[in-house]
């Protein structure tokens, strides 16, 4: 595993001590607060303002690709996005492009967090 992948893997596997989903998700994507929830671009389908994180229930949902549930599920989806646990999956070209753009955005966000 190259150094960048190691850093990404470490960031994905590192939960906040209080297991706050908003804090965890905001490491990877930009979230905007709207009332009692947080909204951002879904890293899994790449649709703007479709991912909603509910702070009170510590859950998330994308209203486009319907990925949803808890902090562990979000982590597992990130692992799949970066192909840490899905090397045998086959994706069509359009989905590969979406996944690549999402990975690039997350890498950019992580590098800004380190500054």
- Its domain, for residue 102, covers 3-110
Asked if residue 96 is part of any domain, the answer here is yes
Structurally, the chain folds into a number of domains equal to 1
Asked if residue 115 is part of any domain, the answer here is no
Q: Distances from the Cα of 3 to the Cαs of 10, 15, 87, in angstroms?
A: 11, 20, 19
pLDDT, tens digit (0-9, with 9 covering 90-100), for 58-106: 999 999 999 999 999 999 999 988 887 654 445 565 677 788 888 898 9
**Interatomic CA distance for residues 115 and 105, integer angstroms:** 16
Asked if residue 95 is part of any domain, the answer here is yes
Asked if residue 101 is part of any domain, the answer here is yes
**pLDDT at res. 114:** 72
Asked if residue 63 is part of any domain, the answer here is yes
CATH of residue 26's domain is 3.90.580
Phi, psi of 60 (to 5 degrees): -135, 160
pLDDT, tens digit (0-9, with 9 covering 90-100), for 30-40: 999 999 999 99
| Spatial CA neighbour of 43 closest among 24, 58, 65, 22 | 65
């Amino acid at each position: 595993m190259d150094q960048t992948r190691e850093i990404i893997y470490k960031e994905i596997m590192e939960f906040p001590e209080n297991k706050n989903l908003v804090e965890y998700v905001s490491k990877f994507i930009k979230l905007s607060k709207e009332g009692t929830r947080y909204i951002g671009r879904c890293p899994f389908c790449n649709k703007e303002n479709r991912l909603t994180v509910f702070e009170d229930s510590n859950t998330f949902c994308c209203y486009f690709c319907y990925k949803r549930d808890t902090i562990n599920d979000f982590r597992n989806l990130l692992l799949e996005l970066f192909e840490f646990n899905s090397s045998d999956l086959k994706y069509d070209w359009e989905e590969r492009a979406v996944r690549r753009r999402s990975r690039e955005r997350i890498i950019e966000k992580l590098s800004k967090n380190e500054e």
